[in-house]
Amino acid sequence: MSDVAAPLARYAAYRRVGDFIFLSGVIAVDPAQKKIVRGFDDIPDEIADQIGRTGEFSSDMKQGPILAQSWYVLNAIKHTVESAGGQMSDVFKLVQYFKNLDHFPYFSRVRHTFFPEQSPASTVVEVSGMMPSDDILIEVEATAYLPQHS
């Protein structure tokens, strides 16, 4: 899967405006492979174990999709910010769109692994649906402060 959060249509994955990097909303889809992350089987095994795979079928089927999508989205944001020359600590604002706000605690647990020191300012919104499929549970957009060197 690609490291940078590639857009699904004709828009930029991110734009630099002065010292700021604005990322488009990121979902758990690899457009090159036309693959949606639907659970633990769609992410690396060591990551699945780290973020909460239990090996219990019913628990993993219930929590796996949001945990795996949360990791995939935040990892794509990390790689996109890094491709612009920054790091996750440069991200100061996240907007998180959920199909179900009950998923927020699972996302929050995964988010902490990407922002162990200080969490970014956040907005959390519940929406009725996301593209391209009902399998998408979360979309996250990020803003980073990344001063240009003269």
Question: Would you call 148 exposed, middle or buried from its count of C-beta atoms within 10 A (0-12, 13-18, 19+)?
Answer: exposed
> Is residue 5 a part of any domain in this protein?
no
> Is residue 31 a part of any domain in this protein?
yes
Mean of the per-residue pLDDT values for the chain?
Answer: 92
Q: What local confidence, expressed as pLDDT, does residue 29 receive?
A: 93
Sequence-distant (6+) residues with CB within 8 A of 31 are: 6, 7, 8
Model confidence at 1: pLDDT above 50: no
| 33: three-class secondary structure by DSSP | coil
Q: What local confidence, expressed as pLDDT, does residue 148 receive?
A: 86
> Is residue 60 a part of any domain in this protein?
yes
Measured distance CA(90)–CA(119) in Å, rounded: 11
Model confidence at 110: pLDDT above 80: yes
CATH assignment of the domain containing 115: 3.30.1330.40
> Is residue 94 a part of any domain in this protein?
yes
> Is residue 28 a part of any domain in this protein?
yes
CB 76 within 8 A of CB 40: no
Query: What are the structure tokens assigned to 100, written together?
Result: 């179900």
Model confidence at 18: pLDDT above 50: yes
Query: What are the structure tokens assigned to 6, written together?
Result: 């590639």
Looking at the structure of the chain, the number of domains it has is 1
Q: What local confidence, expressed as pLDDT, does residue 150 receive?
A: 60
Domain with 117 in it:
14-145
> Is residue 120 a part of any domain in this protein?
yes
> Is residue 9 a part of any domain in this protein?
no
> Is residue 1 a part of any domain in this protein?
no
CB 121 within 8 A of CB 93: yes
Confidence of residue 13 (pLDDT cuts 50, 70, 90): confident
Nearest to 120 by CA among 6, 15, 21: 21
User: For 114-134, how does the pLDDT look when each residue is reduced to its tens digit (9 = 90+)?
Assistant: 999 999 999 999 999 998 899
pTM over 0.75: yes
